[in-house]
Structure 1
């Protein structure tokens, strides 16, 4: 490989994205092999589902605090520690003698999940100029998209064709490759200006941060209230076969990658306008899903656009919190990971409730409800905290930090 390519900033950013792919693949890929896990350990599928729910709970709990604790550590070392722990935990999963050991091997590394996300986003931002930050972070988000949509069917396929153990080894191998890539190609990234825990926690005094957190919860609830039941909707309402649903998942993932690239451009140039328009466009897509959900061809087109909007929403969520607290980027990214996961939990629960009470097709209304709430919170921020005012406040805050004798 050409040395210039290896040392390029883009190459480093893609390595960071691959590390996120490995972690998300570990988190979400297990969804496709829950039946095999239940059969191997003699438990119900609902019990096996703890591998997913407890992982997400660990992420939500540790999100605000673990990145804070690691904020002073060399970012390369922090990433190696997290990915290395995922490698070890995945190897333990392969040889787990019982379900309890498997569950512990899943949950323990989940507590460090937000650390890698936070560090990777900050590292990507520090690799490029300020004007290119949104584009760099959007590229890192490709790892999220790939892990969510591509990792799951690959893992399921390996389990079906080879064995359950082989699919678990797949998690370990992907993370091992990420570990070696970070070790070999990512330069040392010492923290040059370490903020005290108190300085970082002080961002929670800002109403802007809490308003942004609420927005992130609403937007992620809106996305996952429907996406969590994506396969069920295509099965029950659109009447697609299993193979067709798999193809739709792949289509969703491919267009999602395009959504990341679009997000980089939009958030670099027109962030506030993008955030304001986003819920309206997503609401239009949900309405199209509701009215044309029983037709395969229109749904295929709708799903392609849906994938773009889904990853755009993830990027907007990350930007919304980090732009509210730029003076504490590690902590802000931890808040994003934590409350985005909380939104996933809330959205999935409410979406499931709508299905139980009204039927699968009406899950769309739960997504629309959260989009309305998200739009209201976005409008509140744009009215009360325009970008010029926020920039002025941040400059004053940075100045006070610089002259603080402590």
Structure 2
């Protein structure tokens, strides 16, 4: 059911606009509240941390509710959060407003993906998932850079107004959908059972390390380009647009080759975490080279959510919604840890080191993929012997 997938995609655009739109305006927010850039980064890391620790539990609790109402409630919270954030409240209130919708973010995504996959033919499941998760790339190419541009020509508060508008559009579109009963509810024990599977846990570790790697640098994208590459706010918004455009292409390519080998696809795009820091350093003050590296950066970064989610879901097809929520949870834990660790390093060094922090996480993720492959071979051999 493509209409369901496209509406799910629109909702995800609203969610990602709210979650990651803050990245391009962190310097302005830090200046307004007279705080450091790493403290302003709490607006991203706190959001992600809430998702990481509450996502699976809330997804389990919501698994028996009608999916359309769950999705609508989620988008309503995002809309309200953005409206009040635009009023520039005290910083501690702004942090709370950022946290509130985070509780239902994984519930929305899990519900949308589970509903779309359930309505699709077996051969089209990955395509439906790619359409919904494509909202991440679309937001990266449209509304996220638009947030940065609005902040540069109007004010950082106007970025929140735009984010609220996108969430409202998504909320209205959800009511076009028919009712979507949750269907037969699996027992909590059956769903929690996937946490005892070593292969699934290894996949979760890979997802965590991979997203930590990318967000160690992407979370400070605007600050990095401004302070290291000496770009003004208008140019930074253009670079975010370019980053998003190539990200859409990267997501499309990953969607095409994902079915052939999840591990190989993930490893191919992960190599970027090792390559990009070197290329950024090599490009120096050369504008053309820097723009080229940013384009490649976006291409390699965008598929990280798709590959992480597809891999984790493939390991637990019998607990689809819960596995998806865990993918979101571990992914956002990666966002939070990557942002926080990089922020601490930036506080003691400079924003120039952020991509190198990402390289360390990326190397660890590649080692985890190799270890998982070795373990899978041993488990397969042991299974043959047992038979």
**1:3-402 alignment, distance < 5 Å:** 9-33=1-25, 43-46=33-36, 50-94=42-86, 102-148=94-140, 150-159=142-151, 161=153, 166-184=158-176, 186-355=177-346, 359-385=350-376
Q: 1:378 to 1:50 in 2, by over 3 A?
A: closer
- Once the two structures are TM-superposed, the CA of residue 63 in structure 1 deviates from its matched residue by 1.6
Cα shift readout 1:18-67 (whole Å, capped 9, x = no counterpart): 10111121223245556776788xx4345765543432222222122111
- Once the two structures are TM-superposed, the CA of residue 250 in structure 1 deviates from its matched residue by 0.7
Q: 1:149 to 1:58 in 2, by over 3 A?
A: farther
Equivalent pairs, count: 380
Please tell me whether the aligned partners of residues 146 and 253 of structure 1 are also in contact (alpha carbons under 8 angstroms): yes
TM-score, normalisation: structure 1? 0.82
Cα shift readout 1:68-101 (whole Å, capped 9, x = no counterpart): 1111222222111211232334344456876555
Q: What is the rounded CA distance, in whole Å, between the counterparts of 1:280 and 1:99 in structure 2? A: 37
Q: What is the rounded CA distance, in whole Å, between the counterparts of 2:94 and 2:236 in structure 1? A: 29
Q: What is the rounded CA distance, in whole Å, between the counterparts of 2:302 and 2:207 in structure 1? A: 13
Q: 1:93 to 1:343 in 2, by over 3 A?
A: closer
Per mean C-alpha deviation after superposition, the further-off stretch among 188-197 and 149-158 is 149-158
Q: 1:287 to 1:192 in 2, by over 3 A?
A: same
- Once the two structures are TM-superposed, the CA of residue 125 in structure 1 deviates from its matched residue by 2.2
Please tell me whether the aligned partners of residues 312 and 323 of structure 2 are also in contact (alpha carbons under 8 angstroms): yes
Larger Rg: 1 or 2? 1
Q: 1:354 to 1:21 in 2, by over 3 A?
A: same
Please tell me whether the aligned partners of residues 135 and 268 of structure 1 are also in contact (alpha carbons under 8 angstroms): no
Please tell me whether the aligned partners of residues 46 and 336 of structure 2 are also in contact (alpha carbons under 8 angstroms): no
Please tell me whether the aligned partners of residues 32 and 153 of structure 1 are also in contact (alpha carbons under 8 angstroms): yes
Please tell me whether the aligned partners of residues 35 and 45 of structure 1 are also in contact (alpha carbons under 8 angstroms): no
Q: 1:365 to 1:333 in 2, by over 3 A?
A: same
Cα shift readout 1:247-291 (whole Å, capped 9, x = no counterpart): 111100011111121121111233232123333354234332232
Q: What is the rounded CA distance, in whole Å, between the counterparts of 1:97 and 1:354 in structure 2? A: 28
Counterpart secondary structure, 2:101 = helix
Q: Which structure 1 residue ranges, 5 or more long, are not aligned?
A: 1-8, 394-406
Please tell me whether the aligned partners of residues 139 and 260 of structure 1 are also in contact (alpha carbons under 8 angstroms): no
TM-score, normalisation: structure 2? 0.86
Q: 1:20 to 1:290 in 2, by over 3 A?
A: same
- Once the two structures are TM-superposed, the CA of residue 339 in structure 1 deviates from its matched residue by 1.3
CA RMSD of aligned residues (A): 3.0
Q: 1:127 to 1:289 in 2, by over 3 A?
A: farther
